[in-house]
A and B are shown apart, each in its own frame.
Chain A
């Protein structure tokens, strides 16, 4: 199946989906050395976002989160690509400076359609998500 989405940060990646219905903060809530989500009670707590197609509604928290995403990329533990329902400044800037492909406003309910572990392709050159 393939759906369209809006391009936020260019690039293309394939990986296993990791889906969170909750917003994600990268400052303080994700360990930049391991990519593991630290936030207590978060649906992804204890899981690593490294190399995943990370699907979540939008970012939250401090704008410093953009720099944390860059740190994760340098440490080799950044997500392979990001799909947001509605992009905001923190995640969008983080994805662009870290060169992580990112799309938002998918034409379909990705939080339902995509399941953890599914192999997903995000083409942020053409604005397509396929699985």
Chain B
């Protein structure tokens, strides 16, 4: 590939992978089974990104392995009704077309593991969305570094990635042991723990004792840690398949008081003009919970439940979508509150139940945030 026998696009992609391998001291390339590519929303990649993708597609770049995308800037089927500006929509469609030309599935989600893409323990992959990376490494036990959009694309085109970092077992060792001295009742609570630990551990690997999160709660906690820090792997004793803690690991305790203080600090709006959930993208079980809540009391304000197209289709088929939509909810596929152009759609203060989104909404969308558990924000 490096000598151009398989075309110019693969040659350029391999040049990048070789350079990254050299930088990070990889001894060789390793085959990967899938790639998840970030850099999809036109809002983040802009014209420069779009041009690069078009260029690679025009050079004949075609992926070697199953590859899929991160959320885009809009729901590809109902963008007009949602008030996405037309110029934005046009560019967004061009971005998706360029990816599709390269053979990439235009499934836009940060939770590929909810739609059947669940790499096995020890399987090497190249994923880039930070919460998906965290889930794949920690919950599934697969092996991926936290790829950037361009490096994941190169890995997809070549079917390999340089063998370094979290691909190597010896690097999958926790350096922070976390004891949680608080009552964690739901996914939002877990995301607050994630925010606190991410800030503390930064790029490191935390290991948790004394908590028993389910998959949804780990999705929220991992996403928050990857946003406030850049945690790509964590362990939970008795829950995750891997548990490997350095004897020199620092020990910390997360208290209820710290959690309450952080929650109060994040809240900088008294009311919301948009209620959101699905960061990371919602699962069927979360939709069931939402449907029950709305049946007790419908919402009046716009309420977005962000999810993948596949989960939405499933919910439409089973009648779950109708139960939610009848009571004020909107199932928003392919996108999310962070990568959609909220600031251009007239929103100023969204409510959210996820720690991760509270990190990005103020900076990426210039929004004031109302933060709490779903039952605390739905009717605000």
Q: CB within 8 Å of B: which residues of A?
A: 6, 8-9, 27, 32, 62-64, 66-68, 70-72, 74, 87-90, 92-93, 96-97, 104
Taking a contact as CB atoms under 8 Å apart, the answer to whether B52 and A64 are in contact is no
| 26 A-B pairs whose Cβ atoms sit less than 8 Å apart in the complex | A8-B19, A32-B46, A63-B38, A63-B128, A63-B147, A63-B148, A63-B150, A64-B46, A64-B49, A66-B148, A66-B150, A67-B45, A67-B52, A67-B150, A71-B46, A71-B47, A74-B48, A88-B23, A89-B20, A89-B23, A92-B19, A92-B23, A93-B16, A93-B151, A96-B16, A104-B23
- Considering the complex of A and B, which 10 residue pairs feature the smallest CB-CB distances, nearest first? A63-B148, A71-B48, A67-B49, A67-B48, A93-B150, A66-B150, A70-B48, A87-B23, A64-B44, A89-B148
Tell me which of B20, B23, B46 contacts A68 (CB under 8 A).
B46
Minimum distance in angstroms from A113 CB to a CB of chain B: 23
User: Is B12 an interface position by the 8 A CB rule?
Assistant: yes
Q: Which of B40-81 touch A at CB < 8 Å?
A: 44-49, 51-52
| Tier of interface size on chain B | 20 to 34
> Bound state CA distance, A62 and B47, in angstroms?
16
User: Is B149 an interface position by the 8 A CB rule?
Assistant: yes
Taking a contact as CB atoms under 8 Å apart, the answer to whether A97 and B46 are in contact is no
A-B contact count (CB 8 A): 72
Tell me which of A9, A67, A88, A97 contacts B39 (CB under 8 A).
A67
Minimum distance in angstroms from B69 CB to a CB of chain A: 14
Taking a contact as CB atoms under 8 Å apart, the answer to whether B39 and A64 are in contact is yes
Tell me which of B16, B38, B47, B147 contacts A97 (CB under 8 A).
B16
Taking a contact as CB atoms under 8 Å apart, the answer to whether B23 and A63 are in contact is no
Minimum distance in angstroms from A87 CB to a CB of chain B: 5
Q: From A65, which residue of chain B is reached at the shortest CB distance? A: B148
Taking a contact as CB atoms under 8 Å apart, the answer to whether B48 and A93 are in contact is no
Q: From A86, which residue of chain B is reached at the shortest CB distance? A: B23
Q: Which of B58-112 touch A at CB < 8 Å?
A: none
Minimum distance in angstroms from B204 CB to a CB of chain A: 17
> Bound state CA distance, A93 and B46, in angstroms?
17
Taking a contact as CB atoms under 8 Å apart, the answer to whether B48 and A63 are in contact is no
> Bound state CA distance, A64 and B43, in angstroms?
11
Minimum distance in angstroms from A72 CB to a CB of chain B: 8
Q: Which chain A residues lie closer than 8 Å to B39 at the CB level?
A: 63-64, 67
User: Is B15 an interface position by the 8 A CB rule?
Assistant: yes
Q: From B47, which residue of chain A is reached at the shortest CB distance? A: A71
Q: Which chain A residues lie closer than 8 Å to B148 at the CB level?
A: 63, 66, 89-90, 93
